[in-house]
Structure 1
Amino acid sequence: MNMDLSPKFPATFTETEAGVYYHWAAADSQVLGEAKVAAGKLVLKPRGFALPHYADCSKVGYVLEGKCGVALRIPGVNTKENMGFIGVKKGDVLPIPCGSVSSWYNYGDSDVVVIFMADATKAYVAGEITYFLLTGQLGHLRAFSPEFIAKTYQINADKAKNLVGSQKGVLLIKLSEEEARKIPNPNEEVSNILIHNMDASQPDVEVDNGGKLTTIKGTEFPLLEQVGIDVSRLVLESCATRAPSYATEPQVCYIAKGSGEVQIVGINGKLVLNTKVETGQLFVVPKLFAVVVSADEQGIELVSIVTSTR
């Protein structure tokens, strides 16, 4: 295997007054397509709203900063376990099965930052998440003829044109104060079913003055089992190092905080990566390759996923 494993910063996909969506393009990182994984990052400003959408990948969202509301509808039976308006906060893990419709609203006073990491095995574009919007300039409804919309929803032609054309946004819009007041409060009961907070989980490994590793698996979180992804967070204290480790599937790693060094050893004991990493970068460890992470003086926090066996 001969490919570039160097850590990458994301590119801006879309930016408005409501926030920014970044993505890691497969064209810039060949290993994403080879490993069949993908990633993106959402930054929502206060009163920022991500229009309803779904994607071609099962993924997990990990909240890096802030808090927000998420309207989520998972394909399947109409029960509270499959749909609701939930509240997420820093440290929360939210699994999102392929085809699930969601919209995101920042009801807080500071930016919300969410990293998405996906199993792109069935993605349309290898190594990338493709989104399908329900409304807005790139939405499904806008593409259908007004006559078809009028018949489907049993409304007149003028109302049909207004329905498909009134939303001028693309993905991220900022709600007015009046519009924001119409957003409901999160359902705490549903939130407890659909999300799992990393901070509330018992570390699998914890070493004094060294750091801790926490992994959430589908055996303890059924929705995570449905998306087929395990999520881990590695926190290393100043100048600490994690011993070499490997996974049987590709591992996607995002530097959530701090900086350090990463070494990866591949086939025939060859050192294939030896580099510095810093906050905001993402890298992929191919399956069965051994990786070592070492923190700088400020320490390092790394969030990662591995596709689990189902």
Structure 2
Amino acid sequence: MELYPKFPTTFIETEGGGCYNWAAADSPMLGEAKVAACKLVLKPQGFALPHYADCPKVGYALEGKCGVGLTIPAANTKVKMAFIGIKKGEVIPVPYASVSWWYNSGDSDVVIVFMADAASVAGEIAYFVLTGSQGHLPAVSPEFISKTYQINVEKAEKLAGSQKGIMLIKLNEEQAETIPKPKEEILNIYTQNIDASSPDVEVNNGGKSTTLEATKFPFLEQVGLNVSRLVLETNATRAPWYASDLQVVYVVKGSDKVQIVGLQGKLVLNTNVETGQLFVVPKLFMVTISADAEGMELISIVTSTR
């Protein structure tokens, strides 16, 4: 069983930013467990073209702040489309097949790590881009586009073919002015600041643990996941624990040791972890983590809403 923590590899890099993923070929456990993860980096004025994915996922903002356009396909949701602001420390669920686009209007990079459940392609997130050189729209004949939008064929060709970017682009000043402002009144509906949330457990000089569940954050029901943040102080250790469902863990900050115990009391992992690595804990396996002199911070998902 291959459980060793891994760094992501480059999926795409452009002027607008980069996307980095944990490939199933490098981390077989992701494929076996049918979970996936990736990291999005948006440069200032970087724009992730409208896309959807084959699995529900949760994003956690590691750095910066950006705007997110999101469609919500659930029939019982009053707002079908929203433009949301997200900043460092916040969590945003992205439901299965929801179209989203992401824009960095700030002066520094935006970094978001995504963790997903039940990808169709085991261990990978499959993205379907609506426009750009790899998008769906250019593949549709201009005649169909012309009829759909009631424009002439020349305009249809321009609509479908003028965007030459691949997934991540950089907007110019004129394009940036067309981006709407996030709606303040929906901030706590689609996002939650887990960093600022009251911890479920807090120990002086030890650390704190915070979990977002659907009871606290109803929008999580849309993705079938819960999210936890663990902060360990200097040289602190998290007592051994287990979850009834699989855990995906990302090291936000710090380093030291992780141990995982599996069937028949067998130690299946005993290794050091570093900032930026990701590892998987199979369901019901016991895990314990210790921090070095700099402390440690982890973000994780469990593939259940409870």
Smaller-chain TM-score bracket: over 0.9
Q: Alignment partner for residue 36 of structure 1, among 20, 34, 40?
A: 34
8 Å CA contact 2:260, 2:281 repeated in 1: yes
TM-score, normalising length: structure 2: 0.97
The 5 Å alignment of 1:224-303 reads 224-303=220-299
Match in the other structure for 2:46: 48
Give the CA deviation at 1:78. 9.0
Give the CA deviation at 1:44. 0.5
Give the CA deviation at 1:255. 0.3
8 Å CA contact 2:226, 2:305 repeated in 1: no
Distance in 2 between residues matched to 1:31 and 1:247, nearest whole Å: 17
Match in the other structure for 1:93: 91
Secondary structure of 2:120's partner? Answer: coil
Match in the other structure for 1:84: 82
Deviations, residues 261-289 of structure 1 (Å, cap 9, x unaligned):
10000111110101010011000000110
Deviations, residues 124-149 of structure 1 (Å, cap 9, x unaligned):
21011111111111111111112222
Secondary structure of 1:299's partner? Answer: strand
Distance in 1 between residues matched to 2:117 and 2:131, nearest whole Å: 25
Matching of residue 143 in structure 1 with residue 147 in structure 2? no
Give the CA deviation at 1:72. 0.7
Aligned length: 306
Q: Alignment partner for residue 205 of structure 2, among 209, 219, 224?
A: 209
Deviations, residues 41-85 of structure 1 (Å, cap 9, x unaligned):
001011000000011111100001100000111113496644211
Match in the other structure for 1:111: 109
Distance in 2 between residues matched to 1:79 and 1:267, nearest whole Å: 43
8 Å CA contact 2:220, 2:305 repeated in 1: no
Distance in 1 between residues matched to 2:289 and 2:76, nearest whole Å: 43
Distance in 2 between residues matched to 1:5 and 1:303, nearest whole Å: 17
Matching of residue 155 in structure 1 with residue 155 in structure 2? no
Distance in 2 between residues matched to 1:139 and 1:260, nearest whole Å: 42
Secondary structure of 1:200's partner? Answer: coil
Change (3 A) 1:82 1:35: same
Change (3 A) 1:297 1:4: same
Give the CA deviation at 1:191. 2.0
8 Å CA contact 1:81, 1:194 repeated in 2: no
Distance in 2 between residues matched to 1:193 and 1:152, nearest whole Å: 33
8 Å CA contact 2:221, 2:305 repeated in 1: no
Deviations, residues 220-247 of structure 1 (Å, cap 9, x unaligned):
1111022110100000011100000111
8 Å CA contact 2:243, 2:283 repeated in 1: yes
Which amino acid in 2 is paired with 1:128? E
Secondary structure of 1:199's partner? Answer: coil
Match in the other structure for 2:20: 22
TM-score, normalising length: structure 1: 0.96
Secondary structure of 2:195's partner? Answer: helix
Matching of residue 175 in structure 1 with residue 171 in structure 2? yes
Secondary structure of 1:203's partner? Answer: coil
RMSD of aligned alpha carbons: 1.3
List alignment gaps of at least 5 residues for structure 1. Answer: none
8 Å CA contact 2:42, 2:109 repeated in 1: yes
Match in the other structure for 1:7: 5
Distance in 2 between residues matched to 1:300 and 1:158, nearest whole Å: 57
